[in-house]
């Protein structure tokens, strides 16, 4: 009898056709989720910088200040090394009054109180200068201008932000490791189900004298290519997410080094291939070690 015919008969007799497409898509989804967590990990530094550099420093402007003094102060401020370009914003006290009216309604105006607000200037500083000592020096330098009545910065909020960011980083890293362990187990079981239909073919090849290496090689080759395909499907999904962020939240991805993105892509491909090949090798050898009666 033709071996190929025998193989087909065994496959039809003892199991259904392996669902490799389902396994591949399942593994692609797992790699996609791992890729998202990986992107968060490599982008944590950029996230911290983004939020730190968007903390406002607030300058209260004296009511006796003149336009010339404002121009002088602005000219000095916007040329300092610590100043984040394009962050200078003047909020007149009338605008602050309007904001208060929106918050408290028209009844607020019926009190007929004088405008309690002052003109304020808000600006941001570069991350390197967001230390308490540096902020103190900036505050003292600004207070030398007669137009400046007070300077405020959110030092407690900054400390809380950094503390929570560090917790978030630790949580994300731990969750990634847990997800990786779960992913390996899921991928193994998915491939085990996919190869279940071939268990009798694998055992029959051993019984007719084929070596374990000869038996496992075709399955490993196929799993290698399936792993690459699964990895590329995951990368395609991650690329869609990346370009969406680049269009809608460019600050989050603008400074991510390209070499880190390429490294993450390589890791996803390698992980897909490695886990696919390793799981296939393990499953095939498991069936080879089993007795024929245990296959039923």
The residue-averaged pLDDT of 229-254 equals 88
* Segment 45-101, tens digit of pLDDT: 777 777 778 888 999 999 888 889 999 999 999 999 999 998 999 888 888 777 766
Say which residue the tokens 């080094």 belong to: 257
H-run or E-run covering 120? strand 120-123
For the record, the structure tokens of 184 come out as: 């390996």
Per-residue pLDDT at 296: 62
* φ/ψ of residue 98, rounded to 5: -65, -40
* Segment 137-146, tens digit of pLDDT: 999 999 999 9
Per-residue pLDDT at 2: 41
The residue-averaged pLDDT of 212-227 equals 84
Domain residue extents for the chain: 3-51+160-295, 56-153
Per-residue pLDDT at 265: 93
Say which residue the tokens 């196929």 belong to: 222
- The answer to whether domain 56-153 has CATH 3.30.70.3040 is yes
For the record, the structure tokens of 122 come out as: 């808000």
The CA-based angle 171-175-176, given to 5 degrees, is 120
- 191 pLDDT more than 80: no
* Segment 112-141, tens digit of pLDDT: 666 667 888 999 999 888 888 888 899 999
Indicate the SS3 state at residue 60.
Answer: strand
Per-residue pLDDT at 106: 61
Per-residue pLDDT at 14: 40
Per-residue pLDDT at 263: 92
The CA-based angle 148-154-157, given to 5 degrees, is 175
* φ/ψ of residue 61, rounded to 5: -95, 130
DSSP string for 212-276: HHHHHHHHHHHHHHHHHHHHHHHHHHHHHHHHHHHHH-GGGTTT--HHHHHHHHHHHHHHHHHHH
Percent of the chain with pLDDT over 70: 83
Per-residue pLDDT at 3: 39
d(CA 280, CA 220) in angstroms, rounded, equals 6
Sheet holding 148-153, edge to edge: 89-91, 120-123, 57-61, 148-153
Do residues 30 and 176 make contact, with C-beta atoms less than 8 angstroms apart? Answer: no
Question: Considering the entire predicted model, what is its pTM?
Answer: 0.59
Per-residue pLDDT at 285: 79
- Whole-angstrom CA distances from 48 to 36, 45, 111, 120, 139 are 17, 5, 43, 26, 23
> What's the whole-number average pLDDT of the chain?
79
- 203 pLDDT more than 50: yes
For the record, the structure tokens of 182 come out as: 């779960």
Alpha helices in the chain (DSSP H): 3-14, 20-52, 67-77, 93-104, 107-110, 132-143, 155-195, 199-207, 212-248, 258-289
Do residues 138 and 76 make contact, with C-beta atoms less than 8 angstroms apart? Answer: no
């Amino acid at each position: 009898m033709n071996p190929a015919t025998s193989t087909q008969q065994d496959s039809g007799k003892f199991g259904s056709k392996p669902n490799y497409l389902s396994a591949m898509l399942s593994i692609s989804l797992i790699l996609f989720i791992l890729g998202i967590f990986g992107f968060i990990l490599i982008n944590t530094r950029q996230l911290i910088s983004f939020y730190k550099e968007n903390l406002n420093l607030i300058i209260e402007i004296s009511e006796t200040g003149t336009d010339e003094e404002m121009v002088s102060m602005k000219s000095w401020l916007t040329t300092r090394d610590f100043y984040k370009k394009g962050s200078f914003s003047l909020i007149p006290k009338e605008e602050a009054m309007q904001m208060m009216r929106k918050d408290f309604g028209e009844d607020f105006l019926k009190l007929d109180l004088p405008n309690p607000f002052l003109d304020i200037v808000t600006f941001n500083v570069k991350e390197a200068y967001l230390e308490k000592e540096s902020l103190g020096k900036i505050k003292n330098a600004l207070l030398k201008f007669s137009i400046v009545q007070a300077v405020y910065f959110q030092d407690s909020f900054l400390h809380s932000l950094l503390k929570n960011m560090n917790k978030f980083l630790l949580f994300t890293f731990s969750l990634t490791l847990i997800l990786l362990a779960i992913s390996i187990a899921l991928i193994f079981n998915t491939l085990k189900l996919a190869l279940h239909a071939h268990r009798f073919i694998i055992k029959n090849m051993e019984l007719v004298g084929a070596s374990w290496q000869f038996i496992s090689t075709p399955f490993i080759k196929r799993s290698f290519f399936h792993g690459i395909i699964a990895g590329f499907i995951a990368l395609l999904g991650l690329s869609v997410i990346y370009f969406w962020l680049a269009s809608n939240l460019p600050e989050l991805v603008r400074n991510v080094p390209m070499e880190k993105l390429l490294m993450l892509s390589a890791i996803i491909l390698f992980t897909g291939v490695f886990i696919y090949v390793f799981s296939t090798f393990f499953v095939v050898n498991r069936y080879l070690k089993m007795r024929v009666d245990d296959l039923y």
